[in-house]
Amino acid sequence: VTRSYSAPTIEAPDLDAAVRAMREHGLRVSAARRLVLEAIFAAGEPVTAEQVADGLGGQLPRSDITSVYRNLERLEEIGLVRHFHLGHGAGLYVRAGAPVREFLLCDACGEVRPVDPSELDRVRAVIRQDLGHEASFTHFPIAGLCRDCARAP
Amino acid sequence: VTRSYSAPTIEAPDLDAAVRAMREHGLRVSAARRLVLEAIFAAGEPVTAEQVADGLGGQLPRSDITSVYRNLERLEEIGLVRHFHLGHGAGLYVRAGAPVREFLLCDACGEVRPVDPSELDRVRAVIRQDLGHEASFTHFPIAGLCRDCARAP
DNA sequence: TTTTTTGCAAAACCTTTGCAGTTGG
DNA sequence: CCAACTGCAAAGGTTTTGCAAAAAA
């Protein structure tokens, strides 16, 4: 199944603040690291480590994929990046600080629907009440059937 | 994080009916195929392709892992096997016809809690009402924090 | 006999590790 | 200067693919 993707609007990145945060956390601001950060901030949507290494398809200089993984990890540790998964492929990395999205995935047509976490508040409340579990859909999506595919299966 | 796993009770397998189903679907009943089926039916809990290939740790003859994957795929196509994921590791295969379980995963302590699908009926209803999505947690688990870890984070 | 299936080798895919050399602070 | 970081090569874990030989129907 091919996955479609509607990018959530992401507010203008603040690279300088991010660089400051790096220094505050004792991370060196190397060229490679800065490049990963720039790619993540420049991308309008979640991207794979490979896309970052490819310089977002030529928009930025290429990087070594090993360093990209290592830097995404560091940046995630200090809260500048988050990552999540849609299905089975490579992980997707986004700039933290951008609005958090959770995802509904249609197993039939492949639609990926980003939703605002508030839209899942009632869902989380029911899970908490019925099962005593604090659910989070920020790392794995909610799979199933979208409205259209549920109607015409 | 190490994952604990409480096996759901699985009713006595009916290998003969499964073999009949294979023939009905035009699948040949080869030794290798039968072995995969036996392993899946004999296992008291979901197992990886590798566990099947290893003969469940010596209980059964070993098989070639490539064939195991191919046969699990065929058996899943005709509805004798299901598979799902818990986190990032290898997929887990279970005999279809055994009671379906859905899973809650604790990101903090690694607890894996199998629940009966009926326990998620209200959850699914809210997702349907609020988002028009027919949710299924049979392929990916519901991640988050278990009751204990949510209390003491 | 004919079509499916097997077993092996090899590769694909995503991610991590080891290490010697480079660099930021 | 020196700990942190890089780039490369290599490997790890999971799953798929190609193909000639073997086996089911």
Instruction: Provide the percentage of residues in chain A whose pLDDT is more than 70.
Output: 91
Q: How far is B4 from chain A (nearest CA, A)?
A: 17
**Rounded-to-integer distance, Cα B22 and Cα A148, Å:** 33
> Per-residue pLDDT for A3 more than 80?
no
Q: Which tokens belong to B102? A: 């859905």
Instruction: Provide the percentage of residues in chain A whose pLDDT is more than 90.
Output: 79
Instruction: Provide the percentage of residues in chain B whose pLDDT is more than 70.
Output: 91
Instruction: Provide the percentage of residues in chain B whose pLDDT is more than 90.
Output: 79
Cβ atoms of B3 and B87 closer than 8 Å: yes
* Chain A positions touching chain B (beta carbons under 8 Å): 104, 106-107, 113, 115, 119-120, 122-123, 126-127, 130-137, 139-147, 150
**Rounded-to-integer distance, Cα B38 and Cα B26, Å:** 19
B113–A122 C-beta distance less than 8 A = no
pLDDT in tens, B88-126: 999 999 998 888 999 999 998 889 999 999 999 999 999
**pLDDT mean across residues, chain A:** 89
**Rounded-to-integer distance, Cα B87 and Cα B103, Å:** 11
> Per-residue pLDDT for A13 more than 90?
no
Rounded to 5 degrees, what angle do the CA atoms A132, B129, B146 make?
A: 15
Give A99 or A34, the one with higher predicted confidence. Answer: A34
B123–A126 C-beta distance less than 8 A = yes
**Rounded-to-integer distance, Cα B55 and Cα B63, Å:** 7
A137–B145 C-beta distance less than 8 A = no
- List the nucleotides on chain C closer than 7 A to a protein CB: 4-10, 13-18, 23-25
pLDDT interval class at A153 (50, 70, 90): low
Residue B74 Cβ under 7 A from any strand C atom: yes
Residue B14 Cβ under 7 A from any strand C atom: no
pLDDT in tens, A20-70: 999 999 999 999 999 999 999 999 899 999 999 999 999 999 999 999 999
A144–B107 C-beta distance less than 8 A = no
Q: What is the pLDDT of residue B153?
A: 66
Give A13 or A140, the one with higher predicted confidence. Answer: A140
DSSP E strands in B10-141: the ranges are 81-84, 92-95, 102-106, 112-115, 134-135
| A113 strand-pairing partners | A104
CA–C1' span, B49 to D14, in Å? Answer: 10
Residue A70 Cβ under 7 A from any strand D atom: yes
pLDDT interval class at B12 (50, 70, 90): very low
- Virtual torsion, Cα B16, B19, B25, B27, nearest 10 deg: -170
**Rounded-to-integer distance, Cα A7 and Cα A116, Å:** 12
- Give the H or E element holding residue A82: strand A81-84
**pLDDT mean across residues, chain B:** 90
pLDDT interval class at B1 (50, 70, 90): very low
